[in-house]
Amino acid sequence: MTTSFDSTLSSLNINRSNATTTETVTRTQNQTMDQSDFLELMTAQLRNQDPFEPVDNTQMVAQMAQFSSLAGITEMSSTLSSIAERLGATTMDDAIGWAGRTVLTEGSVAWPRSTGGLEGAVELDGAATDVTVTISDANGGVLKQIELGQQRAGTATFDWDGTTEAGVDAGDGPFAISVSARSGAAPVTARSLVWAPVTSVSVVGGQPMLSLPGIGQVNASAVRSVG
């Protein structure tokens, strides 16, 4: 027996026999229904209703309320997404304000402080039982190894006083920074974070870019901290 549901499917060129196949294809192409889909189904329902048993007014009001609610939620979601994106983004004005200051970002080249030595950090993707920071000169010679020991996932900081393993001054740099992290016998993905002065700010592809000596052009969004 033909039902109002069958009529609605028929008006949309969907037969019960191939409804499953059509549904599979549709789900593959689009996982959600939007406002236009909702309105199309409601219009098809009105067009194919039984004139002797029309849709009850109460049901129609309920459906219209659902449609209005869907439209409002969709618009609100879009607005909130835009606000969140704007709040989470680094603007050009923000980046310009960093010129002449130092920023903490991913890098393998570090310059010493005016008082000697340097600060840095290690970013760990997972917990580690052993973390080692190696500081080398421009020729690759190892100057100092700093054992950070066991660390949780996240960021661990270190401070080097600028002296070599032999206790002599390491010089003016720049220095190469590398990180090794393990959890037992398994390696843990880790990145070295260094402080670098911002020499200039530019726009590349609509994105604010920072020029950092020894590192090059870095997107402002890659900055972890500003000194």
Fold that domain 92-226 belongs to in CATH: Immunoglobulin-like (2.60.40)
Q: Is the pLDDT of residue 24 over 80?
A: no
The structure tokens listed for 7 are 């009529």
The predicted-structure confidence for 147-169, as pLDDT tens digits, reads as follows: 999 999 999 999 999 999 999 99
Q: How far apart are alpha carbons 175 and 210 in whole angstroms?
A: 20
- The sign of the torsion formed by the CA atoms of 133, 150, 117, 143 equals negative
Domain ranges across the chain? 4-88, 92-226
Residues 6+ apart with CB under 8 A from 156: 121, 122, 124, 131, 148
Residue 20 has pLDDT above 60, yes or no: no
More confident residue, 184 or 79: 184
Q: Is the CB of residue 110 less than 8 Å from the CB of residue 120? A: yes
Q: How many Å apart are CA 19 and CA 39, to the nearest integer?
A: 20
Instruction: Determine how β-strand 216-219 pairs with β-strand 207-212.
Output: antiparallel
- At residue 94 the predicted structure's pLDDT band, cuts being 50, 70 and 90, is confident
Spell 14-46 as b/e; 16+ CB within 10 A means b: beeeeeeeeeeeeeeeeeeeeeeeeeeebebbe
Tell me, what's the pLDDT at 121? 94
pLDDT above 70 as % of the chain: 63
Nearest to 40 by CA among 13, 17, 16: 13
